[in-house]
Amino acid sequence: MRVERAQQALQECGADALLVSSNVNLLYMAGQIINGYVYVPITGQAILFVRRPKGIEGANVSYIRKPEDIPAILAERGVAAPSKLAFEADFMSYSEYTRVAGCFADTELVNGSGILRSLRAVKSEYELDMMRESARKHDMVYAQISEMYHKGMSDVELSAAIESAGRKLGSLGIFRIGGSSMEIFGGSILAGENADAPSPYDFALGGAGMHPSLPIGANGTVLEPEMAIMVDMGSNFTGYMTDMSRVFAVEKITNPLALRAHQVSIDIQNEICKVAKPGVQAKALYELAYSIVEKEGLKEYFMGHNQQAGFMGHGVGIEINELPVLAPRSRDILCKGMAFAMEPKFVIPGVGAVGTENTYIVTEDGLERITHFPQEIQII
């Protein structure tokens, strides 16, 4: 079915084949990670060109040593050389591109990354069930957080405890992010002022991290009363990720601005749930959020304070940053089967990051929230 959808997309863009090469898209198209390629002709069966592992069987599997082996195998299989080949230009390195282009001398190569991004944005029922399962486990991990806390604990120690709880429940651990400049381990916990430390990465919020080699998230801050402790830890139990942030506090948070901003984040999501449905523009959701933020006078704290992010939501699936993007210039339109996270967050100087993040599925009628852990600030 995924191959058929890819073939339809090829028809729409006038290409006659798609060469899939990234692990995430190989997983998507072939149902497993291989070292090799999936070749999707505009009609007929997709072909798996496999370097490794040994032992994959099927009429549509051909073993190769190098991409240069592909044209001869296509010819043997009676598949005509493509005149216009879509490939993963946003992913494939220039070096690999030159080799692939050398295999298809009379072929025009065009960027097929957008095709795959659009396909993956709309999930099947099977994929949505994988996401619901990850969300269910995600809830179970967050439900253990209050027991993990002990006096004097640092953000990093809390992170390690959450990671460990996830692994015990079957988390695969791996956190997949699109884009070569993005990196993170496990997720992010931002306690107090660290929420305002700018990061080079394109996540919603920053954090200094523990070391210059990974400047994101927890930085060793000891958790104390009146700090907002934003927990935004990953969840990948099924190959499909979910995204959820919650705020915890040791004993109490009393700062009125922080308490109000936290509630506004929940209100924004509730307001968006009233209007979001198939056909609605993703940017309209951002605009609705922003109009509430402006009305509440919280603009300077929205999506960061020292450094502000330009989006407040993003698709999730095999990777944590898929389509749609909820941002002012997004061209994405909601479709049934999309899954995305909304994270209207605020960074309040002296307190930290507040607000919640939830993963939603676009249904025929609106949004289904799949992350159910209570949204109120959790006292630990």
Whichever of 98 and 254 has its CB closer to a second copy, that residue is 98
28: burial class by Cβ within 10 Å (0-12, 13-18, 19+)? buried
- The reply on whether position 140 binds a second copy by CB under 8 A is no
Q: How far is the CB of 165 from a second copy (least distance, A)?
A: 9
DSSP string, 197-244: S--SS-SSS----SSTTS-SS---PBP-BT--EEEEE-EESSS-EE--
Considering only residues 305 to 334 of the shown chain, the ones binding a second copy according to CB under 8 A are 306-307, 318
For helices 23-30 and 113-121, the axis angle rounded to 10 degrees is 60
How far, CA to CA in Å, does 264 sit from each of 179, 214, 221, 269, 375? 31, 31, 26, 9, 12
- d(C-alpha 361, C-alpha 372), whole Å: 13
- The reply on whether position 134 binds a second copy by CB under 8 A is no
- The helix/strand/coil state of 343 is coil
Per CB under 8 A, the list member of 3, 13, 27, 148 interacting with a second copy is 27
DSSP string, 104-155: -TT-EEEE-HHHHHHHHHB--HHHHHHHHHHHHHHHHHHTTHHHH--TT-BH
- Alpha-helix runs per DSSP H in 143-198: 145-148, 155-168
Q: Which residues contact 291 (CB under 8 A, 6 or more apart)?
A: none
Amino acid identity of residue 263, one-letter, is Q
Which region among 4-12, 64-72, 88-96, 344-352 touches a second copy (by CB under 8 A)? Answer: 88-96
Whichever of 38 and 377 has its CB closer to a second copy, that residue is 38
- The reply on whether position 85 binds a second copy by CB under 8 A is no
Which region among 89-97, 254-262, 289-297, 322-330 touches a second copy (by CB under 8 A)? Answer: 89-97
Which two structure tokens, joined as six digits, stand for 368? 């289904």
Per CB under 8 A, the list member of 97, 118, 224, 305 interacting with a second copy is 97
- The reply on whether position 54 binds a second copy by CB under 8 A is yes
Per CB under 8 A, the list member of 193, 202, 226, 271 interacting with a second copy is 202
Whichever of 168 and 299 has its CB closer to a second copy, that residue is 168
CA atoms within 13 A on the CB side of 172: 12
- d(C-alpha 248, C-alpha 155), whole Å: 11
Which region among 28-36, 135-143, 323-331, 363-371 touches a second copy (by CB under 8 A)? Answer: 28-36
Q: Tell me the β-bridge partners of 246.
A: 231
- The contact mask relative to a second copy for 150-179 (x = CB under 8 A, - = no) is ------xx-xx--xx--xx-x-xxx-----
- The reply on whether position 111 binds a second copy by CB under 8 A is yes
Which region among 20-28, 57-65, 73-81, 278-286 touches a second copy (by CB under 8 A)? Answer: 20-28
Q: How far is the CB of 219 from a second copy (least distance, A)?
A: 12
Q: Applying CB under 8 A, which residues contact a second copy?
A: 22-23, 27, 31-36, 51-55, 87, 89-95, 97, 111, 113, 156-157, 159-160, 163-164, 167-168, 170, 172-174, 180-181, 183-186, 198-202, 206, 210-215, 238-239, 306-307, 318
